[in-house]
Amino acid sequence: MERDLERSVEAILMVVEEPVSEVVLAQIIERPTEEIQAALKILQEQYEAENRGFALKQVSGGWRFYSHPDLAPLVEKFVLDGQQAKLTQAALETLAVIAYRQPISRARVSAIRGVNVEAVMKTLVNRGLVEECGVEHETGAVLYRTTNYFLERIGLNSVSDLPALAPFLPDVDGLDEVIASLTE
């Protein structure tokens, strides 16, 4: 009945990368968990009743929007379409940062790129171009590096074969840290 609460849930779930639990939603929206649960149920039923192409699903303890299972063949077709093979500009830029600064944490990549890179990083991992390689000592943050598959796809034998960056750039190594410390 209270559209406000449902709107809030819709807005958050529309843009989150990972499934979000009811408890977290309750904290952010500052409402009791029961109300959140009720709102999620209402939305779920609404979408189903309105025959939407998407659905709200609870998966591994959290909620997230998915395309409706009925339409899986269409989504598959879209995924298989040649267009999806190409990396997006955002993915390419993120990959470039990782390639030249590996091993590197996601927070660091984010700081350099100036935007949230969560979804893009996940895509790069899913696509086998980037992989985890241990954790940073001080922070415990997961570190990432490029894979052999990346080298294969770009046509190089090793990371050391990547063309050198502009000569002035190595000097800004320290700058990265400053920027990172400001943003992290």
Partner 1 sequence: MKSESSELSSNTLGSQVGTAPHMEGRVAGFSVKLDNFDGPFDLLLQLISRHKMDITEVAIASVTDEFIAHIRALEGTEEGWKLDQATEFLVVAATLLDLKAARLLPSGEVDDEADLALLEARDLLFARLLQYRAFKEIAAILADRIAIQERTFARSVALDPIFAALLPEVLIGVTPERFAAIANRVLTPKMAPTLSTEHLHLPMVSVTAEANHVIASLRRSKSLTFRALVADAANTLVVVARFLALLELYKEGQIRFEQVMALGELQVTWTGAESGEISVSDEFDRPPENREEEKSGA
String marking each residue 56-95 x if it binds a copy of itself according to CB under 8 A: ---------xxxx-xx--xx-xxxxxxxx---xxx-----
28 binds a copy of itself (CB under 8 A): yes
Smaller CB distance to a copy of itself: residue 99 or 108? Answer: 108
68-85 b/e with 16+ CB inside 10 Å = b? beeeeeeeeeeeeeeeee
8-41 b/e with 16+ CB inside 10 Å = b? bbbeebeebeebbbbebbbeebebeeebbebbbe
Count of positions on this chain that bind a copy of itself (CB under 8 A):
52
Instruction: Output the smallest distance, CB 160 to a copy of itself, in A.
Output: 22
Q: For the segment 129-148, give every residue that binds a copy of itself (CB under 8 A).
A: 148
CA 133 to chain centre: 18
26 binds a copy of itself (CB under 8 A): no
Radius of gyration in angstroms for the set of CA atoms belonging to the chain, rounded to a whole number: 20
Measured CA to CA, the distance from residue 84 to residue 75 in angstroms comes to: 11
Could you list the residues that contact a copy of itself (CB under 8 A)? 3, 6-12, 14-18, 20, 24, 27-29, 51-54, 65-68, 70-71, 74-75, 77-84, 88-90, 110-111, 113-116, 119-120, 123, 148, 183
